[in-house]
Structure 1
Amino acid sequence: MIRVGVIGTGAMGQNHVRIYSEMEGVKLAGISDVDQNRVEAMAAQFKTKAFTDYKKMFAEGLDAVSVVVPTKLHKQVVLDALEAGLHVLVEKPIADTIENAELMIEAAKKSKKVLMVGHIERFNPAVIRLKEIINSGILGKIVSISTRRVGPYNPRIRDVGVILDIGVHDIDIISYLYGKKIRGVYAIAGADIHSFEDHASIILRMDHNFAGVVETNWLTPHKVRQLTAIGVKGVAYLDYLDQTVELHDNGWIRKAKVEPSEPLKNELAYFIDCVQTGREPNPCGEDGKHALEVAMAAIRSYEEERLIEVGK
């Protein structure tokens, strides 16, 4: 039985709590939040213990925790959890700075504990299926992947702009589908209604002229979550929300078979498996750091109005 805790019981944290409480072979041993009324009500609902100090929760004999607190708090909470000997799943983005991400990665190596980053779209069944299709060669060499992730502003997001909040999803997925690091970024963005940027168009460059394009905003009144992968033999259209993949080539339009499932359930089950087996998670801390580096480079690019090389 793996004993887990959840630190942070906001909108996303509540989903972690719900799923862990339903998982076989997992005991939700405690949940923590600075909002005492909320955490106590949730603990009563899911029959677990409530804490306002997450360090006191560590004394419950935990094996692992989900860290679902604001991004600026990730570093300290993750370091405390690793120092306590716990495996950690931290929500994306991994940290608020590259330096803090590196501290977390080094601490995980030193403690020999799992550090997984919650890039949830990797566990979307449609993305898993598209990765298989790309790897099979059906589409031929992939030369461009473009995404649209747009929708209304979520008022709970107060500490970052649209690039770090939702654009980072597609930055990670484009890198993942190509199996390549992103080397250069050019972005056009602006903050027209909110204090941070609320719309962005981002061009990504991999080695050998492979391209990625991310369109994202908090201005569209309805949610769109779509991806297009263009290969020399065909095109794939993916819908993250409907969990569908459609292939077009010169002769056919075909729908790929995708078994719908909740991405977060898949992600947490995978995390628990990594805890049990000790295997390196995918996405690991380095993957989370790369997505953060690219997102930070995109922010620098629109601020400085120039191409930014990632990692330089």
Structure 2
Amino acid sequence: MTRVGVIGVGAMGQHHVRIYKEMEGVELVGISDVDRERVEELAAEYDVKPYTDYEELLKENLDAVSIVVPTTLHKNVTLDAINSNTNVLVEKPIADTLENADIMIEAAEKAGVILMVGQIERFNPATTKMKEIIDSGLLGKIVSISTKRVGPYNPRIRDVGIILDLGVHDIDAISYMYGSNATEVYAIAGKDIHSKEDHASIMLRFDDEQAGVVNVNWLTPHRVRKMEVIGVSGVGYLDYIEQTVTIHDAKWIRDAKVEKAEPLQKELEHFINCVETGETPLESGIDGKHALKVALAAIGSYNRDGIIKID
């Protein structure tokens, strides 16, 4: 039985709690949040022990923990978990700075524990299918991948702007589809309803004259989560919400067979499997750091109005 805990049980953390509680071979030992009323209410609902001090939860000999706290707290909470010899899944982005990401990655390597970053779209069944199609060569050489991730503003997001909150999803997804890292970034963004940027268009350059385009905002009244993949032999359209993939080529329009499932459930199952087998996570700390590096470069590009090279 794998013993797990959840630190941070807000809008996203509560779903970690629900899924762990339903998983076979997993014991949800306890949950922690600074909001006493919230954590006690959720603990009663799922029949687990509540903690307002996460360090007390980490003393419970856990095998693994999900860390679902504000980005600025990721480093300190993650280091405390690692120091308790606990495998960690930390929600995206991995940290608020590259220096903090490096500290987290180094600490996990030194302790011999897993550090996985919660990039949920990597576990969307539609993503899995599109990646299979790209790697099969069906679309030929991929020359451009563009994404749209827009919707209304969520007031709970206060510590980061839209590039770090939402843009990092698609920066990671495009890099994953190409199987390589971005080399340059240019961003146009602005802030109209938030203290940081709330809309952004990000252009990414990859090797071999390949492009990535990320459009994100908190201004659109309805949610859209889509990707378009353009190859020399065809075009693929992915809808993250509907979990559909459609392929267009010179002769056919075809819908791929996608086995629909909850992405977070697939992500947590993968995390627990990595804990139990020692397998390297699909989204490692290194992958998480690259997505963060590109996102921070995009913010720098927006602030300085120029192209930034990424080493």
The 5 A counterparts of 1:90-239 are 90-239=90-239
SS of the residue aligned with 1:85? coil
Runs of 4+ in 1 over 6 A off after TM superposition: none
Q: Which amino acid aligns with 2:164?
A: L
Kindly state the Cα deviation for residue 61 of structure 1 after the two structures are TM-superposed: 1.9
Corresponding residue number in structure 2 for 1:70:
70
Corresponding residue number in structure 1 for 2:61:
61
Q: 1:223, 1:22 → 2: CA distance?
A: 28
Q: 2:76, 2:61 → 1: CA distance?
A: 20
Kindly state the Cα deviation for residue 193 of structure 1 after the two structures are TM-superposed: 1.8
Q: 1:263, 1:281 → 2: CA distance?
A: 15
Q: Which amino acid aligns with 1:180?
A: S
Does residue 1:247 correspond to 2:241, yes or no? no
Q: 1:80, 1:140 → 2: CA distance?
A: 46
Kindly state the Cα deviation for residue 181 of structure 1 after the two structures are TM-superposed: 0.6
Q: 1:243, 1:281 → 2: CA distance?
A: 22
Q: 2:192, 2:205 → 1: CA distance?
A: 27
State how many pairs are aligned.
311
Corresponding residue number in structure 2 for 1:274:
274
Q: Which amino acid aligns with 1:171?
A: I
SS of the residue aligned with 1:196? coil
Residue pair 2:234, 2:247 contacting (<8 A) in 1 also? yes
Q: Which amino acid aligns with 1:23?
A: M
TM-score, structure 1 length as denominator?
0.99
Q: 2:61, 2:79 → 1: CA distance?
A: 17
The more displaced of 51-60 and 133-142 is 51-60
Corresponding residue number in structure 1 for 2:261:
261
Q: Which amino acid aligns with 1:3?
A: R
Corresponding residue number in structure 2 for 1:79:
79
SS of the residue aligned with 2:110? helix
SS of the residue aligned with 1:28? strand
Gaps of 5+ in 2: none
Q: 1:81, 1:215 → 2: CA distance?
A: 35
Gaps of 5+ in 1: none
Residue pair 2:93, 2:165 contacting (<8 A) in 1 also? yes
Corresponding residue number in structure 2 for 1:9:
9
Kindly state the Cα deviation for residue 231 of structure 1 after the two structures are TM-superposed: 0.4
SS of the residue aligned with 1:160? coil
Q: 2:238, 2:276 → 1: CA distance?
A: 32
Kindly state the Cα deviation for residue 208 of structure 1 after the two structures are TM-superposed: 1.7
SS of the residue aligned with 2:65? strand
Q: Which amino acid aligns with 1:88?
A: V
Kindly state the Cα deviation for residue 207 of structure 1 after the two structures are TM-superposed: 1.0
Residue pair 2:59, 2:84 contacting (<8 A) in 1 also? no
Kindly state the Cα deviation for residue 27 of structure 1 after the two structures are TM-superposed: 0.3
The 5 A counterparts of 1:286-297 are 286-297=286-297
Kindly state the Cα deviation for residue 152 of structure 1 after the two structures are TM-superposed: 0.3
Kindly state the Cα deviation for residue 149 of structure 1 after the two structures are TM-superposed: 0.4
Corresponding residue number in structure 2 for 1:18:
18
SS of the residue aligned with 1:11? coil
TM-score, structure 2 length as denominator?
0.99
Kindly state the Cα deviation for residue 59 of structure 1 after the two structures are TM-superposed: 2.0
Kindly state the Cα deviation for residue 93 of structure 1 after the two structures are TM-superposed: 0.2
Q: 1:70, 1:228 → 2: CA distance?
A: 31
SS of the residue aligned with 1:223? strand
TM-align CA RMSD: 0.5
Q: Which amino acid aligns with 2:241?
A: L
SS of the residue aligned with 1:208? coil
